[in-house]
Structure 1
Amino acid sequence: MTMTKKVMGASALSILVAGAAWAEGPVSWWYETATPAQQDVVARNIVQPFQAANAGTTLNIEYRGAGLDNQIRIALLSGSGPDIVYTGGPSYVAPMARAGQLLALDSYAETYGWNDSILPVFLEMGRYDGALYALPKTYETLGLYYNKTLFETHGWQVPTTLEDLETVADAMLAEGIIPFASGNALWRPTNEHYVTIALNAVAGPENVYKALTGEIPWTAEPFVAAITRLNDWWQKGYFGPNYFSISGEQQVSMLAAGQAGMMPSGTWQFQHIPTYFPQNNAEAGFVGFPSAADVGEPVFPLGVGSTFSIASASRNPDGAAAVIDFIFSEDTYEAMNAEWQGEWNMPLSDLSGVELPPDVLPLYTTAMQNLAQSVSEDEYGYTTWTFLPPATVTYLVSGIEEVWVGQQTVEQFLTQLDTTFRQERDEGKVPATPAR
């Protein structure tokens, strides 16, 4: 497939894309934050291939930044907004579907064969009240990045248990090295990455599943132990002194430079590894985050970073479906992952025809293979931003900070979390939780 480079403005893009005759006309899509270089990747690998095939449909992509979620909510309430509804994950979908703001996609799934081409567990995540309302764009996981070169220099072993993790972290503190490269300066919900890790690594995914399905409360002892241990890490200084002023990309820079030794984070960070590690003559490593003895092997929490839906008020739903179908193709998967790893890992059921170029980080390929195997074997854990409803997530993000700074206890935090969750569960806002 031949593509020509197109230089785009940072705010919006409007060019012609392919579409069948019934899909002709404009299609609007609001996207989140993307650098000019990333916008160029989208233009060359998604938009222009449509233009080469058919000039009948106009795709308008607007880059809305970190405020996208609120902008989408406001627009849908007024019956306006984009044709393609791009959300931050399944937790946003259920309330929109319940409010009648999204189209059911079942007929499109049958027309385009999505029921066969997309992994079933991800289709289940996009369902509400028995109907399909969203396709997850990216599936991701959390794990433990580490500076392999730094570990070798100090003779440290990569931790395989929580006790090992704490031993290495304490050794780093003694050397003046921050154990966890971390921070939420540009994205406050980074807080829930660490809560997710604690819930799965300490309480275990079986208990998280029981809480999500209402079998046990979030105040149960395993969750008290999990949040207590997370808070202990904070109080010991594992997260460093400048957590609230460090961004996600700065975390990778700190890790590569040896200012920090480890980084609990998600697979979206793979896109920054080639930028920072070579210039520091360092090598990165990535493993599953160590788990408690009664949990067993390191757990890969399953997350969905964003979803595609179609607004019920869309003026061109068929065109929107055609765009979404193109995105969920082997060609798009191959093209996007060749240039932008960690953000376009679409859950296609068959990737046998996909070939990524040799310069794609092998560490990324291995991590995605491990996650895919975990999903296929039902051995995955649960990310909070994928499986908790929106108000519960909002409270979690602010509430854990109050625990860290001593404004409330672990028990108070979990009590409010449980109260908020039960209320949203009664209101039908909890995302679908696939059976284990």
Structure 2
Amino acid sequence: MNRRTFIAGSLGLLASTALVGHALAAGKTITWWYESADPKQQGYIKSGIIEPFNAANPDFNLTIDYRGTELDKQMRVALLSGNGPDIVYTAGPTYVAPMARAGQLLALDDYVTRFGWTDRILPVFLEMGKYDGKLYALPKTYETLGLFYNKTLFEKHGWKAPTTIAEVEALADAMLAEKIIPFASGNANWRPANEHYVTIVLNAIAGPENVYKALKGELPWTAEPFVKAIDTLNKWWQKGYFGPNYFSLSDEQAFAQMATGQAGMMPTGTWQFQRVNTYFPPNNAEAGFVGFPSAEGIGGPVYPLGVGSTFSIAATSKNADGAAAAIDYIFSDKAYGSMNSAWPGEWNTPLSDLSKVTVDNGLPLYGETMKTLADAVGDNQYGYTSWTFLPPATDSYLVSGIEEVWLGRSTTAQFLEQLNATFLQEKADGKVPAIPAR
């Protein structure tokens, strides 16, 4: 679909003409700062987004600048001085509210109508990008946490993918007996990996309804369901489910352990699909993926909803319409197919209808998982990831605080008391991201 045509018929022509006129008056270049990407990944973005957008929109010139791990810091400084890029790329909704509150982002509501985003994007994500009733961000990708496992290893031992917490624990104990690490894991390259496991137990054991109540301020984080969840996670840690080298392994090294059979399962996010073809075929193994099992009374597997990064437009942008057109292209069927074929797990934009999208990455499991996730979100059967729905200081404390519990320096009660106090302060300060109604 040609994204230069904004609205069908004469209204679309008028909108397109107005857009081009604005672009010519304000300058053709559209600037976009991005995080880290290796040369191969930069090539995917160039061929899947930059070149096709510029070819279809000759009045614009979309450029990208890779800022690496310093992106967040540099973005904050640039926005404060009014010299930031047109397209503001953040690490997630947690970052959007403070920027919107400070007047650094442009409200996108007019573009929702112009580009028909209401009909093309899953509604919950439009709600998540709002602050004070206005839309300020769209997610680049949405993701979930679940359980990867070595299907070949499972078949060898006669194991089946778990469907309950009791089965998870029984499998983990059986793996320990075979000197197999139950949970491939590591945070050496990314300390916030800690929160993946906290998110899993909050949703799978405390349950998404209780997490929702806590996020709305209707239930304290010190409530019994959360105590049970953190106690369970700590029990898994103390029993050795996470292996002996958690603090010295990267997540990629841990994923490789699972592919070789040194580890059996990996509780992690759908972004790891990008590594399946790299590690499993060389080891003559097949990967499996299921939703993480839930405790009794919660129902089937809960799919915690996460947004890894977002797109916004700087309030000071001199080419806001061009930036919006570029964002709109990223949310096209064509861009989805291209990016998910080349780079699965990192570009799962929340399109409401994937029936017209063609993805060719040799990973049918990925397509099945994304469809299951889209259906779950569409039916409001989802949970909440900490990095998407908690405010910044609360989330930061969660990452560091859980280590103190694991290492015996803090108790579950102390951890949750501090978490609750930090959350209440940020809630009072208006820093809690938008929480869509269930």
Query: Which of 62, 76, 80 is matched with 2:79 structurally?
Result: 76
Match in the other structure for 1:66: 69
Q: Which runs of 5+ in 1 are unaligned?
A: 2-18
Post-superposition offset of 1:80: 2.2
3-state DSSP of counterpart to 1:305: strand
Q: Is the 1:90–1:304 Cα contact (8 Å) retained in structure 2?
A: yes
Match in the other structure for 1:11: none
Query: Which of 317, 325, 329 is matched with 2:328 structurally?
Result: 325
Distance across 2 between alignment mates of 1:151 and 1:134: 42
3-state DSSP of counterpart to 1:416: helix
Question: What one-letter code is carried by the residue in structure 2 that aligns with 1:253?
Answer: A
Question: What one-letter code is carried by the residue in structure 2 that aligns with 1:22?
Answer: H
Pick closer, same or farther for the CA change 1:375–1:54 going to 2, 3 Å.
closer
Q: Is the 1:21–1:56 Cα contact (8 Å) retained in structure 2?
A: no
Match in the other structure for 1:380: 382
Distance across 2 between alignment mates of 1:269 and 1:332: 20
**1:324-403 matches, cutoff 5 A:** 324-357=327-360, 359-403=361-405
**1:260-279 matches, cutoff 5 A:** 260-279=263-282
Post-superposition offset of 1:355: 1.7
Task: Kindly provide the CA deviation profile for residues 94-115 of structure 1, in whole angstroms up to 9, marking residues without a partner as x.
Answer: 1111111111001111111112
Q: Are residues 1:252 and 2:255 paired?
A: yes
Match in the other structure for 2:150: 147
Q: Are residues 1:159 and 2:162 paired?
A: yes
Match in the other structure for 1:14: none
Measured on the aligned residues, the alpha-carbon RMSD in Å equals 1.3
Task: Kindly provide the CA deviation profile for residues 101-154 of structure 1, in whole angstroms up to 9, marking residues without a partner as x.
Answer: 111001111111112211111000000000000011111100000001111111
Distance across 1 between alignment mates of 2:69 and 2:193: 13
3-state DSSP of counterpart to 2:71: helix
Post-superposition offset of 1:53: 2.5
Match in the other structure for 1:188: 191
Greater shift after overlay, 68-77 or 124-133? 68-77
Greater shift after overlay, 201-210 or 110-119? 110-119
Q: Structure 1 runs of 4+ off > 6 angstroms? A: none
Q: Are residues 1:25 and 2:28 paired?
A: yes
Q: Is the 1:384–1:393 Cα contact (8 Å) retained in structure 2?
A: yes
Match in the other structure for 1:315: 318
3-state DSSP of counterpart to 1:95: helix
3-state DSSP of counterpart to 1:184: coil
Match in the other structure for 1:206: 209
Match in the other structure for 1:434: 436
Q: Is the 2:54–2:62 Cα contact (8 Å) retained in structure 1?
A: no
Match in the other structure for 2:137: 134
Match in the other structure for 2:423: 421
Q: Are residues 1:300 and 2:303 paired?
A: yes
Question: What one-letter code is carried by the residue in structure 1 that aligns with 2:187?
Answer: N
Distance across 2 between alignment mates of 1:381 and 1:198: 11
**1:22-61 matches, cutoff 5 A:** 22-23=22-23, 24-61=27-64
Query: Which of 101, 104, 107 is matched with 2:107 structurally?
Result: 104
Q: Is the 1:90–1:307 Cα contact (8 Å) retained in structure 2?
A: yes
Match in the other structure for 1:241: 244
Query: Which of 121, 129, 139 is matched with 1:118 structurally?
Result: 121
Query: Which of 218, 221, 224 is matched with 1:221 structurally?
Result: 224
Distance across 1 between alignment mates of 2:238 and 2:155: 27
Question: What one-letter code is carried by the residue in structure 1 that aligns with 2:104?
Answer: Q
Post-superposition offset of 1:278: 0.2
Question: What one-letter code is carried by the residue in structure 2 that aligns with 1:84?
Answer: I
Match in the other structure for 1:13: none
Q: How many percent of aligned residue pairs carry the same amino acid?
A: 69
3-state DSSP of counterpart to 1:193: helix
TM-score, with structure 2 as normaliser: 0.93
Match in the other structure for 2:406: 404
Post-superposition offset of 1:275: 0.6
Task: Kindly provide the CA deviation profile for residues 294-335 of structure 1, in whole angstroms up to 9, marking residues without a partner as x.
Answer: 212111111111110011122221211111111111111111
Greater shift after overlay, 129-138 or 148-157? 148-157
Q: Is the 1:182–1:239 Cα contact (8 Å) retained in structure 2?
A: yes
- Give the paired residue count: 418
Post-superposition offset of 1:59: 2.4
3-state DSSP of counterpart to 1:158: coil
Q: Is the 1:402–1:408 Cα contact (8 Å) retained in structure 2?
A: yes
Distance across 1 between alignment mates of 2:348 and 2:164: 28
**1:169-184 matches, cutoff 5 A:** 169-184=172-187
Greater shift after overlay, 159-168 or 109-118? 109-118
Distance across 1 between alignment mates of 2:166 and 2:84: 50
3-state DSSP of counterpart to 2:351: coil
Q: Is the 1:196–1:384 Cα contact (8 Å) retained in structure 2?
A: yes
Q: Is the 2:53–2:62 Cα contact (8 Å) retained in structure 1?
A: no
Post-superposition offset of 1:186: 1.2
Question: What one-letter code is carried by the residue in structure 2 that aligns with 1:20?
Answer: V
Question: What one-letter code is carried by the residue in structure 2 that aligns with 1:370?
Answer: T
Distance across 2 between alignment mates of 1:80 and 1:189: 30
Question: What one-letter code is carried by the residue in structure 2 that aligns with 1:372?
Answer: A
Task: Kindly provide the CA deviation profile for residues 229-284 of structure 1, in whole angstroms up to 9, marking residues without a partner as x.
Answer: 10111111111111112112212211100011000001000010011000000011
Question: What one-letter code is carried by the residue in structure 1 that aligns with 2:420?
Answer: D
Q: Is the 1:179–1:240 Cα contact (8 Å) retained in structure 2?
A: yes
Question: What one-letter code is carried by the residue in structure 1 that aligns with 2:402?
Answer: I
TM-score, with structure 1 as normaliser: 0.93
Match in the other structure for 2:10: none
Post-superposition offset of 1:21: 4.5
Q: Which runs of 5+ in 2 are unaligned?
A: 2-18
3-state DSSP of counterpart to 2:305: strand
